């Protein structure tokens, strides 16, 4: 049986270092399987986070060989040609312990970007009809499947340079609401996401788009927000 | 106010980029033509002096530069040096004025 040489970052908010482990190589082994093997067999003190194991919950993202990825759906074969893996917590977020990043700031930014739907109808009204093939609906469809894993946020250079930047996931969420014809907080949301901590800070590096495990393009949504903000500003509505 | 300012600056930078794309192509094509035709400084000046078309073209080019460059530099200063606020904006206004002065000097130098 062949083995994987795995280096795992161990530590906390004050700092830490990599520790080496040897893990048996298996067929169809995911990176999350490797971490789970280490925790259950070699070192029960290892802290990491996971829930669904099938790419739905977004909780198991980590830095794998220098790149942020969801680990449950990342096979070792995809990322490890030479039998070596290096695992670290997500970048651009504070570390709680070992592979567990503190996601509070990440989700607080969703709230700051007005990532909450604001309806205008009550339970007594009829459903609003949204044509599935209408342009706004198709734009929402292209961006709505975000699982909040933080891979885009961790991969974004602008987040690293400007800690106030709302980040790709929060702006993508805002974009889905901006294109939601039922939403009643469009102007308020545009004011929240425009500015040098919002969509205008994006340099279109496309790292978020390249690494999003759900193949969403937050960059496209951010560009849409920029256009919407410019149109509103020119009309004097921003 | 900040959101409106950022949105307008973004629109100004995009519009000036579109102008620059056109101006740079025309400028390079003209330079390549002049070099291939073997035109010297005297013959080029002969064509530019008193020519309001070239005056107009390079004035538009200069305007695009004066709008575009300080907005881009603003992001660089903020992100790389952490320089924000009124002092940065005052520096950028002075920088834009300097660019405008140097450019206008060059344009008038070949027009007058």
Among A190, A110, A197, CA closest to A150:
A110
pLDDT (tens digit per residue) in B64-85: 999 999 999 999 998 889 898 9
**Chain A residues within 8 A (CB-CB) of chain B?**
158, 161-162, 190-191, 194-196, 198, 200-201, 203, 226, 229-230, 232-234, 238
Interface test with chain A among B1, B2, B3, by most A beta carbons within 10 Å: B3
Which helix H or strand E contains A63, and what residues bound it? Answer: strand A61-64
pLDDT exceeds 60 at position B1: no
CB contacts of A201 in chain B (<8 Å) are 75
Tokens describing residue A1: 């049986």
Domain A3-101: give its CATH superfamily.
Beta-grasp domain (3.10.20.30)
Does any CB of chain A come closer than 8 Å to the CB of residue B7?
yes
Does any CB of chain A come closer than 8 Å to the CB of residue B32?
no
Q: Is the Cβ pair B7, A232 closer than 8 Å?
A: yes
Nearest to A200 among B10, B80, B84 (CB): B10
Nearest to B4 among A196, A226, A238 (CB): A238
Q: How many CB pairs under 8 A join A and B?
A: 48
The verdict on domain A104-234 having CATH code 1.20.1250.20 is no
Residue of A nearest to B74 (CA): A196
A148: left (phi over 0), alpha (psi -120 to 50) or beta: left
Residue of B nearest to A189 (CA): B3
Q: Is the Cβ pair B10, A203 closer than 8 Å?
A: no
Distance set, CA A180 to CA A36, A89, B36 (Å): 40, 34, 57
10-residue mean pLDDT profile of chain A (238 residues): values are 93 97 96 98 98 96 98 95 94 98 98 95 92 96 97 96 94 97 94 92 96 98 96 91
**Would you list the domain boundaries of chain A?**
3-101, 104-234
Which helix H or strand E contains A6, and what residues bound it? Answer: strand A3-12
Work out whether strand A67-70 and strand A61-64 pair parallel, antiparallel, or are unpaired.
antiparallel
**Nearest CA distance, B58 vs chain A (angstrom):** 27
Does any CB of chain A come closer than 8 Å to the CB of residue B78?
yes
Nearest to A196 among B4, B14, B78 (CB): B78
**Nearest CA distance, A238 vs chain B (angstrom):** 5
pLDDT (tens digit per residue) in A45-89: 999 999 999 999 999 999 999 999 999 999 999 998 899 999 999
C-alpha span between B16 and A26 (Å, rounded): 56
**Nearest CA distance, A194 vs chain B (angstrom):** 5
C-alpha span between B1 and B7 (Å, rounded): 10
Among B4, B61, B68, CA closest to A232:
B4
**Nearest CA distance, A229 vs chain B (angstrom):** 6
**Would you list the domain boundaries of chain B?**
2-111
The whole-number pLDDT of residue B79 equals 87
Nearest to A238 among B3, B9, B75 (CB): B3
Q: Which long-range contacts (CB under 8 A, 24 or more apart) does A57-60 make?
A: A57/A147, A58/A147, A58/A148, A58/A149, A58/A150, A59/A149, A60/A32, A60/A149
Q: Is the Cβ pair B7, A198 closer than 8 Å?
A: no
What are residue B36's phi and psi, to 5 degrees? -70, -30
C-alpha span between A95 and A92 (Å, rounded): 9
The whole-number pLDDT of residue A195 equals 83
The whole-number pLDDT of residue A1 equals 63
């Amino acid at each position: 049986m062949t083995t994987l040489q795995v280096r795992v970052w161990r530590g906390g908010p004050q700092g830490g270092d990599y520790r080496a482990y040897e893990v048996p190589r298996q067929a169809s082994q995911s990176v999350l399987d490797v971490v789970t093997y280490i925790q259950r067999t070699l070192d029960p003190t290892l802290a990491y986070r996971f829930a669904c194991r099938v790419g739905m919950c977004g909780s198991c993202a980590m830095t794998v060989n220098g790149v942020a990825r969801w680990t449950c759906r990342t096979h070792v074969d995809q990322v490890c040609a030479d039998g070596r893996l290096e695992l670290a917590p997500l970048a651009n977020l504070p570390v709680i312990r070992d592979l567990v990043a503190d996601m509070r700031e990440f989700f607080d930014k969703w709230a700051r970007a007005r990532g909450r739907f604001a309806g205008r109808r009550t339970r007594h009204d009829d459903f609003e009809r949204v044509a599935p093939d209408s342009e706004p609906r198709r734009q929402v469809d292209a961006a709505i499947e975000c699982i909040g894993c933080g891979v885009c946020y961790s991969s974004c250079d602008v987040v690293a340079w400007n800690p106030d930047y709302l980040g790709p996931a929060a702006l993508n969420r805002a974009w889905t609401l901006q294109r939601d014809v039922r939403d009643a907080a469009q102007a308020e949301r545009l004011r929240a996401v425009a500015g040098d901590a919002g969509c205008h800070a994006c340099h279109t590096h496309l790292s978020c788009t390249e690494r999003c495990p759900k193949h969403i393009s937050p960059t496209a949504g951010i560009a849409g927000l920029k256009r919407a903000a410019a149109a509103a500003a020119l009309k004097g509505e921003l | 106010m900040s959101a409106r300012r950022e949105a307008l600056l973004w629109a100004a930078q995009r519009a000036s980029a579109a102008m620059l794309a056109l101006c740079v192509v025309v400028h390079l094509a003209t330079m390549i033509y002049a070099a291939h035709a073997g035109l010297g400084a005297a013959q080029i000046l002969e064509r530019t002096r008193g020519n309001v078309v070239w005056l107009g073209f390079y004035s538009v080019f200069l305007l695009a530069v004066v709008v575009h460059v300080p907005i881009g530099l603003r992001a660089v200063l903020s992100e790389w040096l952490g320089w924000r606020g009124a002092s940065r904006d005052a520096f950028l206004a002075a920088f834009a004025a300097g660019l405008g002065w140097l450019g206008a000097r060059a344009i008038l130098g070949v027009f007058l």
